[in-house]
Structure 1
Amino acid sequence: MTYLILKQIHISCVVLSGSGFVLRGVWTLRQSSWLRRPAVRVWPHVIDTVLLASAVAMAVMSTQYPFSANWLTAKLIGLLIYIGCGTMALKRARHNAQRAAFFAAALLAFAYIVSVALTRNPLGPLAWID
């Protein structure tokens, strides 16, 4: 598989994962019954697994790894923050106000990760300063 195909798969999974997260976040805040559907519970894991596998494959093919490439380290840290905030927003927070705050924080982390990927700069949206 070529790097460009992997990159296209990765970008597609980013769009699907981000869109799915927004939808599940809104459903969580509205306490929708859609969250209990099997597809809603399974597909995010499938998409995120393909997303991670394509990221690892691209890192190996390009020989750019976190802790050696600053922008990939920034993406990894952003990903950990996104996962933590997303988990709180969708599952662990006890009140809707907490869920909403963690949801907003997760969306900001997601936007930061995308901006770092587009600029290949750890400053992300502030890359113009560099």
Structure 2
Amino acid sequence: MYTLIKHLHVTLAAASITLFTIRAWWSVRDAPGLRRPWVRVLPHVIDTGLLACGVTLMVMLRVWPQQTPWLAAKLVALLVYIGLGTVAIKRGRSATTRAAFALLAMAVFAYMVGVAVRHHPASWLG
């Protein structure tokens, strides 16, 4: 069961960043695709599944953020990613601001992947 949930988690993470990248591009370009109903709903479905898989893995492995520094770093980075992403997609006043925040959000996502792969708060450098 662990392997299935882990692969689902990784697949949903890939789907999440792919859709984020498309939405960020549309936001910067002020494209009408960003206003489609499925574009407003699907990210929430994917991210809910991603979070559910993450929590399930955490419980299955009995790793807790207060005892596992890499997991705590990943969760803090997740909050930063969400904040940056909202500016990139919705709250940025200009295309330049939205683009800059999208790039920052993608960098934080890459950091989270490094933390997950290396199991170290220093991410790819650890």
TM-score range normalised by the length of the shorter chain: over 0.9
The whole-number CA distance in structure 1 between the counterparts of 2:67 and 2:86 is 28
- TM-score normalised by L of structure 1: 0.95
The residue type equivalent to 2:8 in the other structure is I
Q: Which runs of 4+ in 1 moved over 3 A?
A: none
The whole-number CA distance in structure 1 between the counterparts of 2:102 and 2:77 is 14
Post-superposition offset of 1:97: 1.4
The residue type equivalent to 1:7 in the other structure is K
SS at 1:59's partner residue? helix
Post-superposition offset of 1:126: 0.9
In the alignment of these two chains, the number of paired residues is: 126
The whole-number CA distance in structure 1 between the counterparts of 2:31 and 2:125 is 37
- 2:87 aligned with 1:88: yes
The residue aligned with 1:57 is: 56
Post-superposition offset of 1:98: 1.1
Question: How far does the alpha carbon of each residue in 1:43-67 deviate from its partner, in whole angstroms, 9 at most, with x for none?
Answer: 0000000000000000000000112
Query: What's the Cα RMSD here?
Result: 0.7
Question: How far does the alpha carbon of each residue in 1:47-89 deviate from its partner, in whole angstroms, 9 at most, with x for none?
Answer: 0000000000000000001121011001001101100000011
The whole-number CA distance in structure 2 between the counterparts of 1:62 and 1:125 is 22
Which runs of no fewer than 5 residues in structure 1 stay unpaired? Answer: none
The whole-number CA distance in structure 1 between the counterparts of 2:69 and 2:102 is 26
Post-superposition offset of 1:34: 0.6
Question: How far does the alpha carbon of each residue in 1:29-54 deviate from its partner, in whole angstroms, 9 at most, with x for none?
Answer: 11111111111111000000000000
- 2:28 aligned with 1:29: yes
The whole-number CA distance in structure 2 between the counterparts of 1:26 and 1:58 is 32
Written as runs of structure 1 = structure 2, the 5 A alignment for 1:1-20 is 2-20=1-19
More RCO (CA 8 Å, sep 6+): 2
The residue type equivalent to 1:72 in the other structure is L
The whole-number CA distance in structure 2 between the counterparts of 1:27 and 1:46 is 20
SS at 1:122's partner residue? coil
Which runs of no fewer than 5 residues in structure 2 stay unpaired? Answer: none
